[in-house]
Amino acid sequence: MSIYIVTMRQKNKLSNTCVVGIVDSTAALSAANMLSKDSVDCLEWRAGCLPGGLRVPPSVFSWVLTVRHFLEGGKRELSAKKREEIFASHLPAASFVDIELRSFRPLARIIASARDRRIQVVASFHDFKKTPSPGKLRDLVMQAGDQGADIFKIATRTDSPADVGRLLDLFQVGKIPLSVMRMTHCSVGPWPITSQVMPVASANSLHAFCSC
């Protein structure tokens, strides 16, 4: 089972890192069922990668539910209607739903249902080719805030210290108005942000993170 690691900013302060286990296959599900309570902080159920009849099992961990479009890193080409159906069928077991920012409009009913159930909504943005400009990053943060996201997650490719710096700048107090919003950062590439803000993370963890 692969993992990814994020660093959280909450109420204008860096808080603890969060380790998320990825369940995207039956083998990963078997591995997740064997985890001890302190192995990870939560599990991510990638429903679009799993057999259709498989349901989110009870767990001591909170579940993050996601159904990604093929262009957003999903393994299958799914219509918006099909993704909505998959989200709806798994929603009762979720503590979080992770929806790509670009998909907020087509999946508006899922977001409304999540809010009705008091499930936290994660708006995510992925760019595995580069780290966007500071202006673009700021616009994404503002857009996620305007959409009412509870958490904003950015995953980018970092090829230089400058790329890492642009992501770290988003953590600076007062630079971007966030009010009640929380942010997470992920990155891949020769300069993963995890190596800068989490120097105690193991090489294996970083490799697993970068490969997923």
Distance CA(65)–CA(96), nearest Å, equals: 6
Question: pTM value?
Answer: 0.80
Condensed to tens digits (0 to 9), the pLDDT of residues 172-204 reads: 634 333 322 344 556 666 666 543 333 222 222
Q: Which residue has the higher pLDDT, 157 or 99?
A: 99
Longest Cα separation, the chain: 47
Strands (E) across the chain are located at: 3-10, 13-23, 42-46, 62-66, 96-100, 120-127, 151-157, 182-188
pLDDT higher than threshold 80 for residue 139: yes
Is residue 168 predicted with pLDDT exceeding 80?
no
| Residues sharing a CB contact under 8 Å with residue 142, sequence separation 6 or more, in sequence order | 176, 177
Predicted confidence at residue 210, as pLDDT, reads 28
Higher-confidence position of 28 and 2? 28
Residue 125 exposure: Cα atoms within 13 Å on the Cβ side: 23
Say if strands 42-46 and 13-23 run parallel, antiparallel, or are unpaired.
parallel
- The vertex-189 CA angle with 96 and 205, nearest 5°, equals 60
Continuous segment of H or E residues that includes residue 89? helix 80-90
Residue appearing with tokens 């093929």: 70
CA-wise closest residue to 15 among 198, 152, 145: 198
Q: What is the per-residue pLDDT across 118-135, written as a single tens digit (0 to 9) for each?
A: 999 988 888 878 888 988
- Please give the pLDDT value at position 183: 47
Amino acid at 37: K
